[in-house]
Structure 1
Amino acid sequence: MDVLEFLALECPFLIPAARRDPSRDAVLKAFEDAVSLREEEAARPIYPGATAGAAADWSRSALRELLEGYYRRQDLKAAISADERRLMFRVMTLSRALDAYLARLFLEKKISWGGHASPQKGFRGFGQEAVVGLALRLRRGSEQGDIACPLIRGLPLTLMYTDDPEAVALSQVGKKGSIFDGRDLHTGNLAKGVLPPTAPLAIGTQTLIGLAYAAKLRGEDRVFLSIMGEGGSSLGEWHEAINFAAVQRLNMIFVIENNHWALGTHWTEQTAAPRFALKAAGYGIPGVTVFGNDPDEVAAASAWAAERARKGKGPALLELVTYRRSGHAHHDDPRFHGAGALKGYEIPEEKALWEAADPLALYEKRLMETGVLDEAAIEQVRIEVAGRIVGVAQAVEAAPWPTKADLSDRVYAVRTEPPPTTVPAQTKQMTYDEAIRLAMVEAMERDPRVFVLGEDVGGRYGGAFGVTRGLVKQFGAGRCLNTPISESAILGCAVGAAMAGLRPIAEMQFADFVACGFNALVNNAAKTHWRFGRAVPMVVRLPYGGATGSGARLMSGGPFHSQCPEAWFFRTPGLKIVAPSTPADAKGLLTAALRDNNPVLFLEAKGLYGMNHPDRLESVPLGDYEVPLGKGVVRRPGKDVSVVSYGAMVSVALTAAEQLAAEGVDLEVLDLRTLQPLDEDLLLASVAKTHRALIVHEDTRRGGVGAELSAILAEKAIFELEAPVMRVTAPDMPSPYSPPLETLYLPGAGDVVAAARSMVER
């Protein structure tokens, strides 16, 4: 791209000056002359706190960086060595050949299992091989270097990092031998610097902001490369991740690989902007469009973005304009190109233009014209690549299929840190929320890997309920991170930071809002260890529920501030769920959760916070104190009915038990403490004694935790039961706003009394 072409994209008003003199100094001088303001003009107020001069300074700085960036990229492009160009050509050739081999393998149904052709998916990168340039000047090949997350069809970038075509093929075929062992078709290996992508497209980008933030906390100058197709760039989670990275000035390069098609949706149906790079201005970062079929242009753009990131200037957005030369996947090829009477959706004019711009053919021609390669050298590359593909085919043929052990293995990571062996003797009276704060403070003092992030956690409030108040003063803004209002970015960052070895505590202001970050938890945190063995040790604090208990001050949360989210996640393998009912348990369970190597959802009954019950104090051990996950407790022994509960409803059950004791009905109250893992032994032992089970939870009835507990009892204790299992829950409706309606909605001691009484009267 010459200077006139660049100015046509970015600064058309400088074209006349560039025609006269295209040199760097002349163009920059013309730019400064064109955008200068007189002193009186600069002083004009635009709105309170902003002047025309200040606004012009920002715009001038952004445009000047684009201009200087262009000339810097030309220098970087000129500095690409002959050896580097030969490397990119070899990887491009290998990627094209590997794609062709995999396409034949799938389309000709050469892979069979159980006597039938195995219908694996295949996403090819034909025509997008120049993406190898992104990795040229990065520190690739190691988890301690620069990390990249490619597209699902991004074999060229993966091969540039790993040089391991066998692992790519084994992943996509579904056989053992890659890090996935048949669990996933995606490719990559974090140990070699490639974060495996996922089908929910923004997950990779969200994870990278966490990896990048961990590097920032450690003072590392590593760079993190996120690749997204133009279709995926429409995802809100992707925008949230870029905004987060820009605010934090993370060492990131965001790439939109605009290959024109997202399945069958043309790029013009994704955006009203003429170029995707123009969106960068909205995040306060530079955006550059380059010809994505020229590996030298791509390499120079990536090197420039990495260079500025390492200088502390934050992220940049690169748009690589390229073309998908095949269908979305193998099954889509006939619909894309057309077959027989079936007319394809590919646009003929675009097809002709981009066939003539094939990246491998263009690069081969340039390398021959510049003397970097001759015909003999090119033929030697082809022979070497063909030999490697033969080796890939042999590896695929010889590799075994996964077994039953691979199906269930490693859903959860094993805890490696031993628990404390003694209970601290010193205690202090405190409330539920004070105990949670104490657990965080002690953990952050003991372990520099622990940090807190969320909305306003380091601000004036210290979170919506003041639980993190004072942490930023004690530990600094890096370890008590105020974030944008962006639950998906908060949780995505937490996942990535956990994968990098930190132990984040992500706070949701209200548990209801975790729905905005569902993807990060269910499709990323919960699946990562199972997919490729990387632990995700993180805690998500979730203030949930209504104003339970007498004297509560915080009422009227309504349908968006009082939900109970446990049923959303209870059925998701890979997540753990904790629900303490007392201050001591709140501290002990949070301490244990922070030492677990899995994502733990920490349900905090905000009805139990001290602001609601300042008189509800309890002795809490000071120092290193844990309550083990997966171990419930009998809060009140009894013989007539087992009342099973957790969180805020435990105190409701205890109140009901005292009321019924006067009638001679003896309730045993079980506090589950954790929902996943669940203490089934405690449940079954209690029911074997009382022969009746009453489940009490604040969540709605249908499909909740109570339904699963009922199923367990039906399967494992049916002959112990002398009455049907009963449930006391909120009704199947949203949580109401009005105080009298909320009081009617929430389960109370009277409801428990009535249900238990009916059971013993049967």
Structure 2
Amino acid sequence: MTLPVATESAYLLDIYARYRRDPLSVPADWRVHFEETEPGRPAAPADGDQLALRLIEGYRRFGHLEAALDPLGLAARPAVAALGRLRAEAAGRPDLPVRAVLAGAEQETTAAALAAELQRLYAGTVGLEAQQVEDDEARDWLHAAFEALFAAETPVDLANRALDAIVLADTFETFIKVKFPSKKRFGVEGAEGLIVFLRELLREACLAGFGETVIGGMHRGRLATLATVLGKPVGVLLAEIKGRDLTDGGPDFTGDVPYHLGYAGEVGHDGRRMRLSIAPHPSHLMTVAPVVTGLARGKRRRGGDDVLCLLLHTDAAFSGQGLVSEVLQLGGLAGYEVGGTIHLVVNNQIGFTTNAGEGRSARYCTDIGKMVGAPVLHVNGDDPVAVARAAALALAWRRRYRRDLLIDLVCYRRNGHNELDEPRFTQPQLWAAIDGRPTLRESFTAAIAALDATAPERAAALAEAFKAEMQDGYAAIESLRPNAGPAGEEAWAGIARAGQPALLLPVETGVPVERLREIGRAASRIPAEARPHPKVAQFYKARLEAIESGTDINFATAEALAFASLLAEGVPVRLSGQDCVRGTFTQRHLAVHDVETGERTLPVAAVATGDAWLEAVNSPLSEYGVLGFEYGHSLADPHRLTLWEAQFGDFLNGAQIMVDQFIVSAEAKWELRSGLVVMLPHGLEGQGPDHSSARIERLLQLCAGGNIIVANPSTPANLFHLLRRQVKAPWRKPLFVIAPKALLRQKACISTLEAMAAGTAFRPVVDEASARPARRVVLCSGKIGYELAAGRASRGLEQEVALLRLDQLYPFPADELAGALSRHGDAQWLWCQEEPANQGALAFVQQQLRSDARFAGRELAAVSRPALPVAAGGSIERHEIEQAALIARALDLTAADA
């Protein structure tokens, strides 16, 4: 076969074969090249070369199906018919000369030898799936790199590093098993390849110049990973396993089980240093994945690539949890990408007691990753050299293409789901095979002796030294003293821990009026060359007029001023959520789109100074994954404002696991602090059960120890102060904003710039400061306050009825409320809410008043909708009738008991 001279690249023969089958299947430049070089149909290659092309293509596509991936040898290895025919054809012509491009280089061989080499490479203890990679160049690079790496002789130093990892893991687990036989440890026995992979990957990352690696983990092998990979002091780890509380976290600190805890440390190789951190995680294992990817993005230099994101999974969770799809999708989106994540799936070949065939319908536990074109390396976990090489290849792919890659580490569990479980009840045959298998330490030590005769003796010495270190740590368990908690991130230095009393102290968040007006002008200016939609242009014109006048500041303008003033002070701002850039209610218009080109401008971003920038990201249709990502982002730096907005507040229920496991509890469990803002549009407006309620009652049930802030701002100025307080306060807490819908366009709901001026702050209780005591004080929260005010005015009851709006529900502003109520003597107190009686803030407010001596003996009457199993009715007519009745009852002074 005569081929063009310019076609000596590593992927020539593959692309040339594709061109011959279908010219339109190759990139246009290659198609033109072949057509110009060989007019007409290309000449048929010689028989040997044609067979070589088919062999290479066949093994690259199907070889993984025949690979020996199961260390136990129990999994079926189907013979691929196409490969069988190719092998038979090659065997039938043993001396047939062929030319083939493997590992990026052309080589002369025979068909039989080529078939044998391909069988060894692609159907040995490693299987490569790359057909889902649509980029031809990337796929061909991957094949060439795979072939070069796995065809090479085993370096002695790599084999010794793998042995060290296995010995350390085995020594650790043996020691723990003896010392703590009744403790759950989710040991790594049977999956020691995990430790090999991690130590090799982190070594390569350190040598490659990464400044930091952030890891999201799992239970399996967590303790061994902490001890043998991340370098956690074994004495501290052993004390935690025993059950000692070594952190003086105060009354609101609960701690967690040892295999949930995180750790931060360093690794060093050849004079280079790299920071390492593994995030704490809950028993909902996949929940940590979006948190860590968000953390990785938050830690990266803007536009840089100095942080590696590594996620560890188990097979049952990875194939069973829908969150996996959300995380994988996020990895390829501009607002969320982290330069590619390496996913290592520890494939136990079983869930708790659930066989693979009961837990998934796909062939592989990693098959979901193929939907985003991520290549997959399937590796036999009992081949440590192959595992180490897979780590090197994974990092090389990540560095070159900045895309996700999956490792399917096929292994087994020597014990049950945890060490207290008996797996032989449900999988007797599987565990019969496991029981009859030598440990990986035994088998690999014997195998490596052929490469390095000194390896067994050196490994034994390493084990003895590590065992002695653990013995010393064990002996010192009782003498360890509680400390001040884990060392915090440098970025968090100076941010105080805060309980409920500190959160109730006022924080000055105002900005001088003229400065605010100056910032507002700049943030409302659409570039002259832009051609906005006429209604958007009018929106910005009206905003600018309000800012110039200093009056009629609505919610959207107040929010924009909060963002702009922070950006002008050098504080980065990130907002994400479904349709959040325009705003679900067409209220925000952060981006101005040119009607002719579609190019977008962010006027608010123009005021940023220093290293500040504005990220405004329309998220995919995800709550669970995206909220987790934004929470993780908020952990990276307290000097940024990170916000997530639900399309409707009800949609938080799609991310309830993230709320429960991280946002409201992570500080108590793991001393993680966050200033995340969660914005939940709320209000009953006749839009039906699913677009009405932020489920305030659920959030308030989760409040304790000053863990979060729940606010329902009823004025634009209060929203302005709330958002600025998140970065101006000396503390950081997650803030749940019960965000307005109807109030976005309520004419009475406006503020002045003076309410945001220097010396002003958030007002947790909005009090009218009536001149004389009223007969009835109606307490409420949110938009119903405006409806009550309108109803009161229409009835002429301004002197008879006082209205108090609670703009912060938790921490409960008891001092401010007591002061406001004291002016009304013995007036009747009544709580009015539009939510049903079993929902909203009613029960919480009643409990707060009952538990405070200042309110003792006073009953809080209530007006609400009757208890319902849904948030609201389904018709506007019903809504309006009920709402009018609520207002009437709340203002009916003839009723002794409302």
TM-score (norm 2): 0.70
**Which of 313, 324, 328 is residue 238 of structure 1 equivalent to?**
324
Q: Could you say if the C-alpha distance between residues 652 and 519 of structure 1 is closer, same or farther in structure 2, counting changes exceeding 3 Å?
A: same
CA drift at 1:285: 1.7
Counterpart of 2:719 in structure 1: which amino acid? A
Query: Would the aligned equivalents of 1:592 and 1:627 in 2 still touch at CA under 8 Å?
Result: no
1:695 match: secondary structure: strand
2: CA distance, partners of 1:59 / 1:204: 30
CA drift at 1:147: 1.4
Counterpart of 2:328 in structure 1: which amino acid? I
Residues 184-212 of structure 1: per-residue CA shift (max 9 Å, x gap): 11233135422223211112111112023
Q: Does 1:576 align with 2:689?
A: no
Q: Does 1:649 align with 2:770?
A: no
Q: Could you say if the C-alpha distance between residues 724 and 581 of structure 1 is closer, same or farther in structure 2, counting changes exceeding 3 Å?
A: closer
CA drift at 1:107: 3.2
Q: Could you say if the C-alpha distance between residues 17 and 327 of structure 1 is closer, same or farther in structure 2, counting changes exceeding 3 Å?
A: same
Q: Does 1:95 align with 2:169?
A: yes
Residues 386-416 of structure 1: per-residue CA shift (max 9 Å, x gap): 202212312333346899xxxxx86789789
Which residue of 2 is the match for residue 586 of structure 1?
A: 719
Counterpart of 1:183 in structure 2: which amino acid? G
Q: Could you say if the C-alpha distance between residues 57 and 303 of structure 1 is closer, same or farther in structure 2, counting changes exceeding 3 Å?
A: closer
Residues 344-379 of structure 1: per-residue CA shift (max 9 Å, x gap): 223424641585363322332233221074332222
1: CA distance, partners of 2:321 / 2:683: 30
Structure whose alpha-carbon radius of gyration is higher: 2
1:521 match: secondary structure: helix
Which residue of 2 is the match for residue 684 of structure 1?
A: 818
Q: Does 1:289 align with 2:383?
A: no
2: CA distance, partners of 1:739 / 1:588: 34
2: CA distance, partners of 1:15 / 1:624: 79
Taking the TM superposition and a 5 Å limit, the aligned residue runs for 1:18-167 are 25-26=101-102, 58=134, 64=140, 66-71=142-147, 73-74=149-150, 82=157, 85-107=159-181, 121-135=184-198, 136-138=200-202, 139=205, 144-154=211-221, 155-158=223-226, 159-167=228-236
Which residue of 1 is the match for residue 569 of structure 2?
A: 446
Counterpart of 2:256 in structure 1: which amino acid? D
Counterpart of 1:222 in structure 2: which amino acid? V
**Which of 473, 489, 496 is residue 601 of structure 2 equivalent to?**
473
Query: Would the aligned equivalents of 1:660 and 1:666 in 2 still touch at CA under 8 Å?
Result: no
2: CA distance, partners of 1:22 / 1:129: 41
Q: Does 1:726 align with 2:781?
A: no
CA drift at 1:323: 0.6
1: CA distance, partners of 2:100 / 2:247: 49
Which residue of 1 is the match for residue 470 of structure 2?
A: 389
Which residue of 1 is the match for residue 774 of structure 2?
A: 639
1:453 match: secondary structure: strand
2: CA distance, partners of 1:648 / 1:515: 22
Counterpart of 1:190 in structure 2: which amino acid? A
Q: Does 1:715 align with 2:818?
A: no
1: CA distance, partners of 2:446 / 2:751: 78
Taking the TM superposition and a 5 Å limit, the aligned residue runs for 1:532-547 are 532-547=670-685
Query: Would the aligned equivalents of 1:578 and 1:629 in 2 still touch at CA under 8 Å?
Result: no
TM-score (norm 1): 0.81
CA drift at 1:282: 0.8
Please list every run of 5 or more consecutive structure 1 residues that lacks an aligned counterpart in the other structure.
31-54, 109-119, 338-343, 404-408, 548-555
CA drift at 1:521: 2.0
Residues 597-633 of structure 1: per-residue CA shift (max 9 Å, x gap): 12111111201112xx357543245977696568323
**Which of 277, 281, 286 is residue 202 of structure 1 equivalent to?**
286
CA drift at 1:463: 4.2
Q: Does 1:738 align with 2:812?
A: no
CA drift at 1:384: 0.8
Q: Could you say if the C-alpha distance between residues 463 and 80 of structure 1 is closer, same or farther in structure 2, counting changes exceeding 3 Å?
A: farther
Residues 514-556 of structure 1: per-residue CA shift (max 9 Å, x gap): 1111122221122222233232111111111133xxxxxxxx4
Query: Would the aligned equivalents of 1:323 and 1:354 in 2 still touch at CA under 8 Å?
Result: no
Counterpart of 1:483 in structure 2: which amino acid? S
1:25 match: secondary structure: strand
1:506 match: secondary structure: strand
Taking the TM superposition and a 5 Å limit, the aligned residue runs for 1:667-682 are 667-682=801-816
Q: Could you say if the C-alpha distance between residues 576 and 718 of structure 1 is closer, same or farther in structure 2, counting changes exceeding 3 Å?
A: closer
CA drift at 1:447: 3.6
Residues 140-195 of structure 1: per-residue CA shift (max 9 Å, x gap): 69995111222213233333122533333333333133798871112331354222
Residues 251-291 of structure 1: per-residue CA shift (max 9 Å, x gap): 31112211122221122222112212332211222222111
Residues 274-312 of structure 1: per-residue CA shift (max 9 Å, x gap): 212332211222222111233332232233222222334
Counterpart of 1:598 in structure 2: which amino acid? K
Task: Between 187-196 and 506-515, report the one with greater CA deviation.
Answer: 187-196
Query: Would the aligned equivalents of 1:698 and 1:730 in 2 still touch at CA under 8 Å?
Result: no
1:193 match: secondary structure: strand
Which residue of 2 is the match for residue 170 of structure 1?
A: 239
1: CA distance, partners of 2:375 / 2:558: 45
Q: Could you say if the C-alpha distance between residues 315 and 99 of structure 1 is closer, same or farther in structure 2, counting changes exceeding 3 Å?
A: same
Once superposed, what is the RMSD of the aligned Cα atoms?
3.9
Aligned residues: 698
Taking the TM superposition and a 5 Å limit, the aligned residue runs for 1:221-370 are 221-233=306-318, 234-248=320-334, 249-250=337-338, 251-332=340-421, 335-337=422-424, 344-349=425-430, 351-352=432-433, 356=437, 358-370=439-451
Q: Could you say if the C-alpha distance between residues 726 and 353 of structure 1 is closer, same or farther in structure 2, counting changes exceeding 3 Å?
A: closer
2: CA distance, partners of 1:379 / 1:26: 39
Identical pairs, percent: 16
CA drift at 1:85: 4.4
1: CA distance, partners of 2:653 / 2:394: 34
1:435 match: secondary structure: helix
Which residue of 2 is the match for residue 434 of structure 1?
A: 557
Q: Could you say if the C-alpha distance between residues 432 and 478 of structure 1 is closer, same or farther in structure 2, counting changes exceeding 3 Å?
A: closer
1: CA distance, partners of 2:748 / 2:802: 26
Query: Would the aligned equivalents of 1:464 and 1:509 in 2 still touch at CA under 8 Å?
Result: no
Q: Could you say if the C-alpha distance between residues 6 and 709 of structure 1 is closer, same or farther in structure 2, counting changes exceeding 3 Å?
A: same
1:265 match: secondary structure: coil
CA drift at 1:14: 6.6
Taking the TM superposition and a 5 Å limit, the aligned residue runs for 1:180-195 are 183-185=255-257, 186-191=260-265, 192-195=276-279
